[in-house]
């Protein structure tokens, strides 16, 4: 299990405005905001971890995206994938692959890809078969 994910930003307020509606839609809540320390964190539901953190790089150098790095956020369903991708683009994110099935990953993988305002690559995805019930049998 993950403890936390940290993405660097050079503009904390701008990054917070970008991520807050996305993470809220996924059911993540603000956990802390420390503008003086340059960090903001969210956690899912009422759990303390994993944390999704944004902040200024520790070494105070400019934030740069990881080469080949990506964070994938799990959505509860396909409409949520669509909504979050659209929200990211409205907020100034850049499309890296619109919502849709990616059967080369697996039969029910539905995902969308975008970059945030600092160039970090993210994915929002759902792995569920929409024709199955929670017990895994067809509806």
Q: What tokens does 95 get?
A: 């499309």
pLDDT tens digits along 69-111:
999 999 999 999 999 999 999 999 999 999 999 999 999 999 9
- Paired with 30 in beta bridges are 42
Question: According to the model, what pLDDT value does residue 134 have?
Answer: 54
Domain residue ranges of the chain, discontinuous segments joined by + = 4-126
pTM of the shown model: 0.89
Question: Which H or E run includes 87?
Answer: helix 78-90
pLDDT category of residue 138 using cuts at 50, 70 and 90? very low
Question: According to the model, what pLDDT value does residue 139 have?
Answer: 40
Mean pLDDT of 6-28: 97
pLDDT category of residue 136 using cuts at 50, 70 and 90? very low
In CATH, what is the architecture of 4-126? Answer: Roll (3.10)
Q: Cα separation of 20 and 5, whole Å?
A: 15
Q: Is the pLDDT of residue 132 over 90?
A: no
Q: Give the strand pairing for 51-55 and 4-8.
A: parallel
């Amino acid at each position: 299990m993950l403890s936390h994910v940290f993405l660097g930003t050079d503009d904390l307020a701008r990054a917070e405005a970008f991520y807050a509606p996305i993470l809220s839609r996924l059911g993540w809540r603000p956990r802390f905001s420390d503008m003086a320390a340059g960090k903001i964190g969210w956690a899912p539901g009422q759990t303390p971890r994993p944390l999704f953190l944004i902040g200024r790089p520790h070494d105070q150098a400019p934030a740069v995206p990881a080469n080949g790095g990506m964070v994938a956020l799990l959505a509860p369903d396909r409409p949520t994938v669509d909504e979050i991708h659209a929200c990211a683009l409205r907020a100034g994110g850049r499309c890296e692959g619109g919502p849709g099935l990616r059967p080369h990953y697996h039969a029910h993988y539905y995902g969308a890809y975008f970059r945030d305002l600092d160039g970090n690559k993210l994915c929002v995805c759902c792995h569920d078969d929409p024709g199955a019930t929670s017990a895994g049998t067809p509806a």
